[in-house]
Chains A and B, each alone.
Chain A
Amino acid sequence: MNDTPPPPLPPPSPPSGGGLAWPPHPHDPGPAPTPPVTRDTRKRLDLWDRVKFLVLLGVVFGIFVWNELTDNPLLPVRDAFRTAVQDKTWVFVLLAVEVLRQCSYLLAERSAGYHRFWSRTIFGRWNDRVERIDPWARFRIGRALKWVAALGILGAVVGATTGDSFVVALFRLPATIYGVLPTLLQFALIMLVSVGQFVAIFWFLSRGGVEVYFPDDIETRFDSVWGQDAVVERVKENMVFLENPESIEEKGGYVPGGLLLWGPPGTGKTLIAEAVAGETGKPFVFVEPGAFINMFFGVGVLKVKGLFRKLRKLALRYGGVIVFFDEADSLGNRGQLSTGGFMRVASTSAEPCCNGVGYLSEHSRALLLEHQLRRQPGAGDAIVTTGMGGGGMGTLQALLTELSGLKKPRGLMNRYARRALGMRPKPPPKYRIFVMMATNMPNALDEALLRPGRIDRIYKVGYPTKEGRRRTYEGYLAKVSHQLTPTQVDKLATITPYATGATIKDMINEALVVAIRDGREVITWPDILRAKQLKDLGLPDDTAGLDRERYGTAIHEACHGVAGYLRKSHWEIDLASIERRGDTGGMVAFVKPEDQQFTWRSEYEADLITTLASLAGERLFFEGDNANGVAGDLGNATRLAIMMEGFYGMGASVASHGVQRDFGVGGGGPKPGGEEKETNLLAGPLGDRVEQNLVGLLEQARVLLDEHRHLVFALAHALLQHKTISGEDVMAVLEGNPGPVVNGAWYHSEEFAGLAERYHQAALEAHRVKRAIAMDPIVAPPVERVLPSLVGAVPVAPWPDGPTPSATPPPPGVPTFLPPPPPPGSPGTNISTEGNDDPPS
């Protein structure tokens, strides 16, 4: 029987290969704890560790011998060796000490008692005694010993140089230094000039781009910011905390360190910052976007350090300071997974959703996020960025450190003099620096920049609401002479849904230019409309074209307008035009009267009917013929129908076809940037259903237009006469009212009906034989009441209280996405339907 105890198990080795291991289960007790391994003897040294200092000292001695030999041609090697031994005794002293040390180690490696004696009795007790000393006192004793050692070495070196004892040399050192002081000063001066050049260059380069405004320097107030009331209120709240930090700090909180304003250009981010500067009682530091774009490496870092040095001074002097980084995306990022950063704080999903994916489990959310990233165009490039922006070269890192880095003691005296005297440096004071940033590219910001503690608040400065736009229009109109009524201003706010403060200001200015061009100083409603058309559409091409082609375009756009008027009754018509602008032959634009987030199936269906009305109308009015100008409409209708059927659950299918693409199965809807998948879609069952639905809706459009043939003629001839007319005039034509420019009532007269039918027959004949229309264009009589309304600012159109058209249900048997459409007044849609067509050939 073997009584030998089993050898102890080796300690568990860490997982190899660098692979990830599953974390231990919370209920898994894991391996039993291994008792600490204790040794009786010292661990054996490797041969190199044993001899390395001996070798080093041997090499040093060899160098001394070599020096002797080269210094004296008479000296033989043996005498050089002996001379070196005599002159450099300290080498042999060290050598002997090292030999003794290694001998001691050898003994300790073999004798447990010897090892115990040194490790526990001698050094152990010494350690115990040292440990009893206060760490700070220990540090100071150590520092004093270091000073003594340094002085000793200095004295020895100087003594060896001068031939004196090291004590004498030490005492003579001040006199020696005094003697060489001129040389030292000369050297210092040379160094100063040499280094000073670079310091001066970098100092000058690190200037600029930063401006400081003191209270009352800026007159902009929060009242000057229109249409962003919610954001302004939140910003004000931060200002209150900065002005009165005790209000939150006494309750255990802290003053927010920074806020980010992001949103589309022109929405007033910089204006809000300017208002903050005007309202606050603290200095306001404005950092220009190009401040950190530098030619030389390190200048940006110097600028950041200089900026925050200035901020700290201002914060101490005035009790706080606000710094504003305009276009903060210029700071760049360091290259990172774009899964973090701004996506952490704001949803950037392009698809409408109710509440993100917050109701899902963590795993489900991660899965969906991964698929979402894969769907991004060029996802491989988009996920990992390589650092961008002009910041770069350590500037961003320096900024991050300054924003929330180590709280270092400040001041030379504090840091060095106090420490030299054995005192702890005083901690830094609480600098109240409030950081504001503004950008319209929030995704370009570094994730670390947006973390709480640096940027605590992130506010979106989006497009103003209708009320905000109305307020903004009123604000800018108050600065000029105008004759707009409150109703017209309200209408203006309605028909400019994405107007920002900048675009509103520009449009009012354009209207003033129009008025001045006409010899007036007062802006009227038509001036506003002309300015809006100019800003929205630009200048039309100066081409007349064929009269029969113009008539075809007018019919095309009139069909859009009439169908939209009848089926999109909750939308407002912005304008209609048959003027060519590049590839665009004409257009009818609708705007939503109210902010709406989601779009319903019935609204999509109305959009499709309005879109397909061009094809239905051309075939209806031109004996089944149609131009290729409907290509754009058909493409839009097909895309929308596919989205409804395959993605939005608005058809026979429930499963989302878009998911297929995530798994690489094929199909699954249009791919961003390419249309090759549409062929597959249209060739399958989905395509069949889409085609069926579009055919049905096309028939609905045809019936609708056939029933309202007179409205199509009315609008078409109004467009032929005026080329571009405002939404109010379109409504006037369709409803038989006098409009601002167009006499809509006349278009509902018997006289016009006869003329219109005759003109249509002439146009049809011209279309058949491809010749000019053998009839003069119909010209409506002018509106007599229009002029007084313009100068007297009397609203002439019954907008918005005019009659609303009744919806026409589809004929029985026509396939549709939905039961008959809801009555007027149902929720609107988000998508503006425009007849953005190719010119008819």
Chain B
Amino acid sequence: MGAALLAVGVFACGSADAKYVKNPALGVYLKVPHEWTLYTLETAGPAISSVNGGKALKWAVGFDGALQPSRFHLDAPVSDTPIGVVEVYPALALNLPARNLTTLKALLSHQTYDDTAQTYSAVPLDTKISEVSEVEYGSGYFGIRLKASTTETNGKVSTLAKLALFDQSTQLLYVLAAGCLDSCYEAHRAQIEGVLDSLTMRSIE
């Protein structure tokens, strides 16, 4: 009995390998490196809202990979440590022109929609899109994953890995983004892209 208890104790000692972010009600599951700090809407406020000023945000969790984490890191345009956010919006509240892959790609690449011409604008010059791919998850989730590099006004380049999904009925929009300065991204590529890779979707009851 003692040996069993000891084994259990050893097995239980130490922390988990990762931090797990989940919202079963919205069907979102992902994991971030254990060293990263998580922020919720209550702890980070609007800092983690990235789309449309956080209007009608349904759920969000931000994460900061800095050794000295701060919620203000999520507000900064560029960061020298990995930061990220996962958000869920009701699609209706975003007033999207359409609910398809084009819209998602435009959304992730900072394009705007011209109602009169009914076309999307060109990708801004300071943004370079690479590694665009369509993704599909089980239970009917579909979307776009891309990597965008943006040259800031101070000349620094930040790189973000982004992923946007619609659920099967296109009622909900899921956005996951993580990145930092270009050099930082290269240094933490595995961790950053691992976060996006870990995203798992489940159907909502």
The interface size of chain A toward B, counting residues with CB under 8 Å, comes to 16
From 1 to 22 in chain B, residues with beta carbon under 8 angstroms from any chain A beta carbon are 1, 5, 11-12, 14-18, 20, 22
Classify the secondary structure of B's interface with A: mixed
In the bound complex, CA of A85 to CA of B10 (Å)? 12
Determine how close the nearest CB of chain A comes to the CB of B116; give it in whole angstroms.
Answer: 45
Inter-subunit contact A72/B22 (CB<8 Å):
yes
Inter-subunit contact B24/A71 (CB<8 Å):
yes
A76 at the interface (CB under 8 A from B): yes
Inter-subunit contact A73/B11 (CB<8 Å):
no
Inter-subunit contact A99/B11 (CB<8 Å):
no
Select one of B5, B11, B20 contacting A72, CB under 8 A. B20
A residues in contact with B17, CB < 8 Å:
76, 78-79
B residues in contact with A71, CB < 8 Å:
22, 24
A241 at the interface (CB under 8 A from B): no
A54 at the interface (CB under 8 A from B): yes
Inter-subunit contact A99/B12 (CB<8 Å):
no
- B30 — nearest CB in chain A belongs to which residue? A74
Known A-B contacts A78-B11, A79-B16, A82-B16; the reply to A72 vs B1 at CB < 8 A is no
Determine how close the nearest CB of chain B comes to the CB of A632; give it in whole angstroms.
Answer: 91
Inter-subunit contact B29/A72 (CB<8 Å):
yes
B interface, size bucket: 10 to 19
A51 at the interface (CB under 8 A from B): yes
In the bound complex, CA of A162 to CA of B16 (Å)? 25
A53 at the interface (CB under 8 A from B): no
Select one of B20, B22, B24, B198 contacting A79, CB under 8 A. B20
B189 at the interface (CB under 8 A from A): no
Residue-by-residue, is B171-198 near A (CB-CB < 8 Å gives 1, otherwise 0)?
0000000000000000000000000001
Determine how close the nearest CB of chain B comes to the CB of A692; give it in whole angstroms.
Answer: 98
In the bound complex, CA of A74 to CA of B17 (Å)? 11
From 47 to 105 in chain A, residues with beta carbon under 8 angstroms from any chain B beta carbon are 51, 54, 71-76, 78-79, 81-83, 85-86, 99
B200 at the interface (CB under 8 A from A): yes
In the bound complex, CA of A86 to CA of B200 (Å)? 24
- B18 — nearest CB in chain A belongs to which residue? A79
Determine how close the nearest CB of chain A comes to the CB of B101; give it in whole angstroms.
Answer: 25
Inter-subunit contact A74/B29 (CB<8 Å):
yes
Inter-subunit contact B18/A99 (CB<8 Å):
no
B99 at the interface (CB under 8 A from A): no
In the bound complex, CA of A72 to CA of B202 (Å)? 10
Inter-subunit contact A51/B30 (CB<8 Å):
no
In the bound complex, CA of A99 to CA of B200 (Å)? 40
B residues in contact with A78, CB < 8 Å:
11, 16-17
A residues in contact with B24, CB < 8 Å:
71
B residues in contact with A75, CB < 8 Å:
20
In the bound complex, CA of A83 to CA of B12 (Å)? 9
B residues in contact with A76, CB < 8 Å:
17
A residues in contact with B202, CB < 8 Å:
73
Select one of A54, A72, A73, A85 contacting B12, CB under 8 A. A85
A residues in contact with B20, CB < 8 Å:
72, 74-75, 79, 83
Determine how close the nearest CB of chain A comes to the CB of B193; give it in whole angstroms.
Answer: 16
Known A-B contacts A54-B1, A79-B18, A79-B20; the reply to A74 vs B12 at CB < 8 A is no
Determine how close the nearest CB of chain A comes to the CB of B74; give it in whole angstroms.
Answer: 22
B residues in contact with A72, CB < 8 Å:
20, 22, 29
Determine how close the nearest CB of chain A comes to the CB of B35; give it in whole angstroms.
Answer: 15
In the bound complex, CA of A54 to CA of B5 (Å)? 10
In the bound complex, CA of A83 to CA of B11 (Å)? 12
In the bound complex, CA of A82 to CA of B12 (Å)? 5
Residue with the greatest number of chain A CB neighbours at <10 A, chosen from B14, B20, B31: B20
- B202 — nearest CB in chain A belongs to which residue? A73
- A51 — nearest CB in chain B belongs to which residue? B1
From 44 to 80 in chain B, residues with beta carbon under 8 angstroms from any chain A beta carbon are none
In the bound complex, CA of A75 to CA of B198 (Å)? 11
A residues in contact with B11, CB < 8 Å:
78, 81
A residues in contact with B31, CB < 8 Å:
74
In the bound complex, CA of A99 to CA of B1 (Å)? 10
In the bound complex, CA of A101 to CA of B67 (Å)? 43
The 8 closest A-B pairs by CB, nearest first: A79-B16, A85-B12, A82-B16, A74-B29, A74-B31, A73-B200, A72-B22, A72-B20
User: Given A78-B16, A82-B12, list of 15 further CB < 8 A pairs?
Assistant: A54-B1, A71-B22, A72-B20, A72-B22, A73-B202, A74-B20, A74-B22, A74-B200, A75-B20, A78-B11, A78-B17, A79-B18, A82-B14, A82-B15, A82-B16
Q: List 20 A-B contacts (CB under 8 A).
A: A51-B1, A54-B1, A71-B22, A73-B200, A73-B202, A74-B20, A74-B22, A74-B29, A74-B30, A74-B31, A75-B20, A76-B17, A78-B11, A79-B20, A81-B12, A82-B12, A82-B14, A82-B15, A83-B16, A85-B12
